[in-house]
């Protein structure tokens, strides 16, 4: 796994160097609107700690951070009203998943029918 890059865009958001449209914050987590939404509801939930991806976080984050993050994801979904019609959680982890930003983030998609979860190979 690559070392954590402290200059990735979400680290810069956490340091207040660039703005975000915040929707929820807890002791160890921050949630904000995705800059390029793929659904009427598209928000990202990130841990405040320096974790590259879900693998890194699940291996190294404290139990307190992990519990906070899980709760922040559910709370964020309710804050934006995604719980009403249902929603999808997605976290890209590493190369096979096409992860673009190397700081763990959970996408919350909602507000429309989201279709099948993944294209079949060759589609």
* 35 is a site residue for ligand AMP (CB under 6 A): yes
Map residue 82 onto helix, strand or coil. helix
* 114 is a site residue for ligand AMP (CB under 6 A): no
Residue choice 2, 3, 96, 98 for contact with ligand AMP (CB under 6 A)? 98
**What are the φ/ψ torsions at residue 29 (nearest 5 degrees)?**
-145, 155
Part in contact with ligand AMP (CB under 6 A); list of ranges 55-63, 78-86, 92-100, 110-118: 92-100
* 36 is a site residue for ligand AMP (CB under 6 A): yes
- Listed in sequence order, the residues at least 6 apart from 29 whose beta carbon sits closer than 8 Å to its beta carbon are 45, 46, 47, 48, 68, 69, 72, 73
Which residues in this chain contact ligand AMP in the complex, by CB under 6 A?
Answer: 9, 20, 34-36, 44, 92, 98-101
């Amino acid at each position: 796994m690559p070392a954590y890059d402290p200059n990735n865009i979400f680290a810069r958001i956490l340091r207040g160097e660039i703005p975000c449209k915040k929707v929820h914050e807890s002791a160890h987590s921050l949630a904000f609107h995705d800059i390029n939404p793929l659904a009427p509801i598209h928000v990202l939930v990130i841990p405040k700690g320096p974790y590259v991806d879900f693998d890194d976080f699940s291996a190294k984050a404290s139990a307190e951070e992990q519990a906070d993050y899980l709760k922040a994801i559910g709370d964020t979904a309710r804050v934006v009203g995604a719980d009403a019609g249902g929603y999808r959680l997605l976290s890209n982890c590493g190369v096979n998943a096409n992860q673009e930003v190397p700081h763990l983030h959970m996408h919350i998609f909602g507000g429309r029918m989201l279709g099948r979860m993944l294209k079949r190979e060759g589609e």
